[in-house]
A = this chain, B = another copy of it.
Amino acid sequence: VYGVDEQTLPGAIHVLLQQQHRTIATAESCTAGSIAAALGSVPGSSKSFLGGIVSYANEVKIDLLGVDAAEIERSGAVSESVAQQMAEGVRKRLSASLGLGITGIAGPSGGTHKKPVGLVWVAIADTHGCVTRRLQLSGDREAIQSRSTTAALGFLWETVRAAEPLKTAKS
Contacts and interface: CB of A to CB of B under 8 A. Distances in A.
A50 B40 contact: no
Interface in A9-67: 26, 28, 31-37, 39-41, 43-46, 49-57, 59-60, 64
Contacts of A46: 56-57
Contacts of A26: 33, 54
A64 B35 contact: no
Interface in A82-97: 93-95
A158 interface: no
Nearest to A110: B46
A43 B109 contact: yes
A37 B37 contact: yes
A144 to B, nearest CB: 11
A112 to B, nearest CB: 16
Contacts of A54: 26, 33, 36, 40, 51-54
Most chain B beta carbons < 10 A, residue from A28, A37, A141: A37
A132 interface: no
A64 B39 CA distance: 20
A107 interface: yes
Given A34-B37, A51-B64, 16 more contacts: A26-B33, A32-B33, A32-B36, A32-B39, A32-B41, A33-B52, A36-B36, A37-B145, A40-B54, A40-B145, A41-B141, A54-B54, A57-B94, A59-B94, A60-B94, A64-B64
What 7 A-B pairs come out closest when comparing CB atoms? A32-B40, A33-B33, A33-B36, A33-B37, A51-B56, A51-B60, A52-B54
